[in-house]
C-alpha cells in the first residue's frame, strides 16, 4: 500500500530548503543516490567507526561512567566521567566525527531533570558540563541530521511530556527550545536514516507514532508507523544504503525483544523477532562504518548484555560485555 505520508513528505517542499550548502537538497532529499553505498554521504562525511555509551543508572542512582566501543564492536571497561552523573539522558553525533550527550535525571528519582550537555571529541573524550540554554528534560532522544548537526526532541519536562526540540549546530552549540510537531511524549527512539535526515518513533503510552525530520531540522506531523507500539527503545543506522533499525522496548509491563528496520526513505518495517533477551532502557550506536550495537538496559535486573547488528541489520544473540551493568543509558557514534 502506498504510504501517503511519505509520498507527501518527499514530494512536497514542506519546510523549504536549507540555506547552507551542501545540504540544500530541497524536494529531493531521501531519493538522491549520491553517497548510498559509497561509504561517504552526499554531505561529505564518512560513516562513524567508533562508539561510546555514557551515563545511566545503577543500584538506584545516576552514574557518569563511559565505555568506548571499538571498530569491531568490543566495549571497553569503565572510564570515570567528568560530567554530572545522571540517567535517562540522550546522545547524538554532530560535526561529522564528534558527539553530544545531553539532558537526563540527576536525582535518580525522576525529579532531577537536567538541561546540561557534554561534548565528546573525536577521540571519545567526554568534556565537562556545558550550562544549559534549553529547558531541563529527561527521557528524550537525539539524532544526527543534515550530515553534521543534531536534534534532541520530545521527552519529559517539569513532570509533563513535551514535543519541544533543540537543534545542535556543527560546532556542538545547543539552541534554545522551539516548538516541535507531533504528539507530546517521552521515552521515544530516534535515529538518522537516509543520507541526511532523521526519524523519531514510538514512545509515550506504547505508541507506534513516527515523526520524520528533514535536513533543515524541521519535525513533521505524526504518522502511524509499523510495528508494535512501545517505549524505552533505541535506534541507529546500519549498512551502506541509508537504513536504520529500532530495537527492544516495553509495552505496559512487558519487556520486548524485537526490532524494526527503517529503509532509506523512512518506512518503518513490521516487527522482526529477536534471539536476544527482552529489555528496555538500553542504548545503541553505529560502529565500524556499517554495523551497530545494542547494550545494557533493564531485563528485570540491571543488564550487561550486548547484541551486535551486522551490515544487513541482523541482531545477534546476547554477549556479556565489560562495564558496569546499568539501565537508562545513552550511546552515540563518533570518529571517522
The residue behind cell 516541535 is: 180
Domains of the chain, CATH where assigned: 4-19+44-334 (2.120.10.80)
Distances (CA, A) of 23 to 19, 27, 210, 296: 8, 12, 23, 35
User: Could you list the pLDDT tens digit for every one of the 336 residues in the chain?
Assistant: 456 555 555 443 333 333 333 333 333 323 233 333 445 555 567 899 999 999 999 988 999 999 999 999 999 999 998 899 999 999 999 999 999 999 999 998 888 899 999 999 999 999 999 999 999 999 999 999 999 999 999 999 999 999 999 999 999 999 999 987 899 999 999 999 999 999 999 999 999 999 999 999 999 999 988 899 999 999 999 999 999 999 999 999 999 999 999 999 999 999 999 889 999 999 999 999 999 999 999 999 999 999 999 999 999 999 999 999 999 999 999 998
Q: Which secondary structure element, helix H or strand E, spans residue 10, and what is its range?
A: helix 4-11
Q: If we measure between CA atoms, which residue out of 247, 215, 218, 219 comes closest to residue 234?
A: 247
Long-range pairs for 311-319: beta carbons < 8 A, 24 or more residues apart: 311/238, 311/239, 311/240, 312/238, 312/239, 313/238, 313/239, 313/243, 313/245, 313/259, 313/261, 315/245, 315/247, 315/259, 315/272, 315/274, 315/275, 315/276, 316/275, 316/276, 317/275, 317/276, 318/276, 318/277
Give the three cell numbers for residue 288: 565500524
Q: Which secondary structure element, helix H or strand E, spans residue 112, and what is its range?
A: none
278 Rama class: left (phi>0) / alpha (psi -120 to 50) / beta: beta
- 36 with 240: CB under 8 angstroms? yes
> What confidence score (pLDDT) does residue 167 get?
98
| Angstrom distance (rounded) from CA 214 to CA 220 | 8
> What confidence score (pLDDT) does residue 44 get?
67
Q: Which secondary structure element, helix H or strand E, spans residue 233, and what is its range?
A: none
Length of the chain as a residue count: 336
Give 173: exposed, middle or buried? Use CB within 10 Å, 0-12, 13-18, 19+.
middle
Q: Which secondary structure element, helix H or strand E, spans residue 5, and what is its range?
A: helix 4-11
| Angstrom distance (rounded) from CA 120 to CA 11 | 36
The residue behind cell 564518512 is: 46
Q: Do β-strands 258-262 and 272-273 pair in parallel, antiparallel, or remain unpaired?
A: antiparallel
Q: Which residues of 17-44 are buried (b: 16+ CB within 10 A; e: fewer)?
A: bbeeeebebeeebbeeeebbeeeebbbe
CB neighbour list of residue 47: distance below 8 Å, 6 or more residues apart = 39, 237, 240, 286, 289, 290, 333, 336
Amino acid at each position: 500500500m502506498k504510504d501517503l505520508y511519505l509520498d507527501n513528505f518527499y514530494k512536497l517542499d514542506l519546510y523549504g530548503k536549507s540555506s547552507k550548502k551542501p545540504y540544500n537538497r530541497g524536494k529531493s532529499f531521501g531519493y538522491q543516490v549520491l553517497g548510498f553505498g559509497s561509504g561517504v554521504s552526499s554531505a561529505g562525511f564518512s560513516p562513524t567507526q567508533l562508539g561510546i555509551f555514557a551515563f545511566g543508572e545503577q543500584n538506584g542512582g545516576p552514574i557518569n561512567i563511559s565505555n568506548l566501543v571499538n571498530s569491531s564492536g568490543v566495549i571497553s571497561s569503565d572510564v570515570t566521567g567528568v560530567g554530572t552523573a545522571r540517567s535517562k539522558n540522550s546522545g547524538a553525533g554532530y560535526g561529522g566525527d564528534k558527539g553530544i550527550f545531553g539532558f537526563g535525571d540527576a536525582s535518580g528519582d525522576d525529579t532531577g531533570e537536567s538541561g546540561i550537555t557534554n561534548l565528546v571529541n573525536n577521540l571519545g573524550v567526554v568534556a565537562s558540563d556545558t550550562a544549559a540554554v534549553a529547558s531541563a528534560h529527561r527521557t528524550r532522544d537525539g539524532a544526527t541530521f543534515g550530515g553534521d548537526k543534531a536534534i534532541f526532541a520530545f521527552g519529559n519536562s517539569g513532570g509533563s511530556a513535551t514535543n519541544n526540540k533543540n537543534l545542535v549546530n556543527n560546532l556542538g552549540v545547543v539552541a534554545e527550545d522551539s516548538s516541535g510537531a507531533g504528539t507530546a511524549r517521552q521515552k521515544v527512539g530516534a535515529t538518522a536514516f537516509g543520507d541526511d535526515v532523521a526519524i523519531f518513533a514510538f514512545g509515550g503510552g506504547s505508541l507506534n507514532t513516527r515523526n520524520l525530520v528533514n535536513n533543515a531540522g524541521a519535525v513533521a506531523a505524526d504518522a502511524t508507523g509499523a510495528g508494535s507500539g512501545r517505549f524505552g527503545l533505541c535506534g541507529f543506522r546500519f549498512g551502506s544504503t541509508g537504513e536504520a533499525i529500532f530495537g527492544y522496548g516495553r509495552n505496559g509491563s512487558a519487556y520486548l525483544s524485537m526490532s524494526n528496520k527503517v529503509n532509506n526513505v523512512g518506512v518503518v518495517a513490521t516487527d522482526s523477532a529477536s534471539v536476544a533477551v527482552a529489555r528496555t532502557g538500553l542504548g545503541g550506536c553505529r560502529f565500524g562504518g556499517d554495523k551497530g550495537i545494542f547494550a545494557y538496559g533493564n531485563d528485570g535486573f540491571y543488564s550487561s548484555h550486548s547484541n551486535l547488528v551486522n551490515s544487513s541489520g541482523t541482531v545477534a544473540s546476547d554477549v556479556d560485555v565489560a562495564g558496569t551493568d546499568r539501565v537508562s543509558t545513552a550511546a552515540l557514534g563518533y570518529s571517522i
